[in-house]
């Protein structure tokens, strides 16, 4: 890894640790600041919402989680290909591809920071039974670092305004948000 790339990755990892940011926060952040705020403030209601319940169930019954990831630096990706340094996050559906990718990218950056070697993020889409590898370009690292800074600020703020987009119709936080 180049010095600049590694420095940015280290800065990202340190900020995530300091602000206690995890992969899912980056997925929500890529969709909507308000949604990220709900998540950061632990205002989840997965037990009440049918889509979230189905997602959790598909995840748990698909046996995607590999035992070798337990106890891994506080991370919980679903699978790791240690030989090829690929870290895999499983999702029930492809969803918003860029947002879904963010969680896997988060794991790859944290592993890269701790091992000093490059890791490849990948998303396994359970409903399609396919794995999509993601290339981490320089600008992706910058975007993740910017997102970590924004999420850190969001921790101190009151609930921000939401968006008005088609995704609101299927958002898992629509009830909390007052959109239904």
Name the site residues for ligand SF4 (rule: CB under 6 A): 31-32, 34-35, 162-163, 167-168, 171, 173-174, 177, 179
Q: Closer to ligand SF4 at the Cβ: 1 or 48?
A: 48
Provide the minimum distance between the beta carbon of 123 and ligand SF4 in the complex, in angstroms, as a whole number. 20
The three-state secondary structure class of 16 is helix
Residue whose pair of structure tokens reads 């340190």 in the numeric block: 14
Provide the minimum distance between the beta carbon of 36 and ligand SF4 in the complex, in angstroms, as a whole number. 9
Q: Closer to ligand SF4 at the Cβ: 4 or 170?
A: 170
Q: Closer to ligand SF4 at the Cβ: 8 or 172?
A: 172
| Alpha-carbon separation of residue 71 from 30, 56, 75, 77, 121 (angstroms) | 27, 21, 7, 11, 19
Which positions ≥6 away from 169 have C-beta within 8 Å? 179
Provide the minimum distance between the beta carbon of 161 and ligand SF4 in the complex, in angstroms, as a whole number. 8
Q: Closer to ligand SF4 at the Cβ: 51 or 132?
A: 51
| Alpha-carbon separation of residue 7 from 131, 139, 158, 163 (angstroms) | 29, 14, 32, 33
Q: In the bound complex, which residue of the shown chain has the CB atom lying closest to ligand SF4? A: 162
CA-nearest of 123, 109, 100, 152 to 9 is 109
């Amino acid at each position: 890894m180049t010095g600049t790339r590694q420095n940015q990755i280290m800065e990202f990892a340190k900020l995530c640790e300091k602000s206690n940011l995890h992969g899912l926060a980056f997925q929500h952040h890529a969709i909507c600041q308000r949604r990220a705020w709900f998540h950061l403030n632990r205002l989840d209601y997965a037990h009440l919402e049918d889509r979230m319940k189905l997602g959790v169930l598909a995840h748990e019954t698909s046996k995607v989680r590999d035992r070798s990831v337990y106890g891994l630096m506080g991370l919980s990706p679903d699978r790791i290909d240690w030989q090829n340094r690929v870290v895999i996050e499983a999702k029930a559906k492809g969803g918003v591809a860029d947002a879904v990718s963010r969680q896997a990218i988060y794991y790859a950056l944290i592993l890269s920071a701790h091992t000093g070697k490059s890791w490849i993020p990948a998303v396994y889409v359970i409903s399609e039974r396919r794995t999509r590898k993601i290339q981490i370009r320089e600008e992706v690292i910058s975007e993740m670092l910017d997102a970590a800074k924004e999420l850190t600020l969001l921790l101190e703020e009151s609930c921000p305004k939401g968006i008005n987009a088609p995704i609101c119709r299927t958002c898992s936080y629509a009830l909390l948000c007052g959109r239904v």
